Amino acid sequence: MDQRQEDSLLISEADLQRLALQVLQHLGLSPDHAQAIARIVVAGQRDACQSHGAYRILSAAQTIRTGLVDLQARPLLQPTQGAITRVDAQRGFSPWALEVGLPPLVATTRQLGMGALVINHCFHFTALWPEVEMLTGQGLAALVMTPSHAWVAPAGGTKGVFGTNPIAFGWPRPGPYPYVFDFATSAIARGDLDLHRRAGTPLPEGVGIDAQGQPSTDPAAVAQGAMRTFGGHKGSALATMVELMAGMLIGDLGSQESMALDAGAGGMPCHGHLVLAFDPQRFAGEDWPAHQARAEAMFAAIKGQGARLPSERRYAARALSAQQGISLPRKLHDEILALLD
């Protein structure tokens, strides 16, 4: 879905950051919120991750119109207890809350070997990979998960219980690009379902069910029914784990509950978020460089047979953006500018 074509323009990272900041503040967000969100959406656009790039400014505007999100909410950092750092986002967007919680999470992880950052009562806004990369950039491994809205049926069922419930993992590598994966536990991403719906193209077989519980490739029917999990009962089990760990464990909403809270307003989900971090220097000890080199040998064994590592396409786009600027679809640029009217 790269749009580096004549219907796109090139914009510098600084200019896109400025534009995003201006629009987000115009929408009523406090400067801290606007800056944190802008950094995330610029990173997404830079990596040609269209579904989590500048497009998300439009999603933010839609969520703001529901009136549910507190645009001035100050994230409340609670004193770290044991390995657990907790930030109450107080019904604001998540990126600023994450930035507030990150330093104590990193400190705890270095001290204890592992740590958890719990974010409560946030409108989770972003892909998970930028969060993971904030931790790999500190030399830590990270495992991140979050629920969403109950659009996804359990294996063997027909009605939505789970969110798309993404899981992301990161591992620090020498050089600029960590090992990172970030995927939905649903068989198709919600954004891809929306793209099919808008384009009027059928879904792949096996990813959705209509409201009558029958398999369907009609994106509108599946939007009324439910998506399936990826990988059958195994994906369904992982989606359950995300509900439990990033929902009930941290005393926050599951996907059914956050959907009920939204009450059909069409906003983003409001719920919790769980970030786990691991310090390889504490786990592997002083031999960590040797063990990290063994991980590199495994990556070489994967790539040496022609397979790809996740995120490679993002990193290639990032390198291209650094050379020539960030590609932004003109239509999206116009829609973002229209928010200033």
Closest separation in Å from C-beta 264 to its own copies? 19
Q: Which one-letter DSSP state was computed for residue 184?
A: -
Rule CB under 8 A: which of 245-274 touch its own copies? 245, 247-251, 254, 256-257
Instruction: Give yes or no for residue 215 binding its own copies (CB under 8 A).
Output: no
Of residues 308, 323, 334, 341, which one binds its own copies by CB under 8 A?
A: 308
Cα end-to-end distance, the chain, whole Å? 29
Tell me whether strands 84-93 and 76-81 are parallel, antiparallel or unpaired.
antiparallel
Q: Which residue of the set 15, 51, 59, 262 is catalytic?
A: 51
Active site residue 287: no
Spatial distance between the Cα atoms of 326 and 13, rounded to a whole number of angstroms = 6
Fill in the per-residue mask, 56 to 85: x = in contact with its own copies (CB under 8 A), - = not in contact: -------------------------xxxx-
Q: Which is nearer to its own copies, 17 or 236 (CB)?
A: 236
Spatial distance between the Cα atoms of 58 and 42, rounded to a whole number of angstroms = 13
Strands of the chain (E only): list them: 8-11, 76-81, 84-93, 114-123, 141-145, 167-171, 179-183, 208-209, 226-227, 270-278, 326-329
Q: Hey, is 200 helix, strand or coil?
A: coil
Instruction: Give yes or no for residue 306 binding its own copies (CB under 8 A).
Output: yes
| DSSP character string of 223-244 | HHSEEPBTTHHHHHHHHHHHHI
Closest separation in Å from C-beta 250 to its own copies? 5
Active site residue 52: yes
Spatial distance between the Cα atoms of 31 and 143, rounded to a whole number of angstroms = 29
Closest separation in Å from C-beta 279 to its own copies? 9
Closest separation in Å from C-beta 226 to its own copies? 10
Of residues 47, 88, 192, 243, which one binds its own copies by CB under 8 A?
A: 243
- Phi, then psi, of 85 in degrees rounded to 5: -105, 135
Rule CB under 8 A: which of 90-149 touch its own copies? 111-116, 118, 141, 143
Instruction: Give yes or no for residue 305 binding its own copies (CB under 8 A).
Output: yes
Active site residue 255: no
Spatial distance between the Cα atoms of 239 and 241, rounded to a whole number of angstroms = 5
Residues that bind its own copies (CB under 8 A): 81-84, 111-116, 118, 141, 143, 153-159, 161, 169, 171, 179, 181, 183, 230-237, 240-241, 243-245, 247-251, 254, 256-257, 276, 278, 280, 282-285, 287-288, 291-292, 294-295, 298, 301-302, 305-308, 310
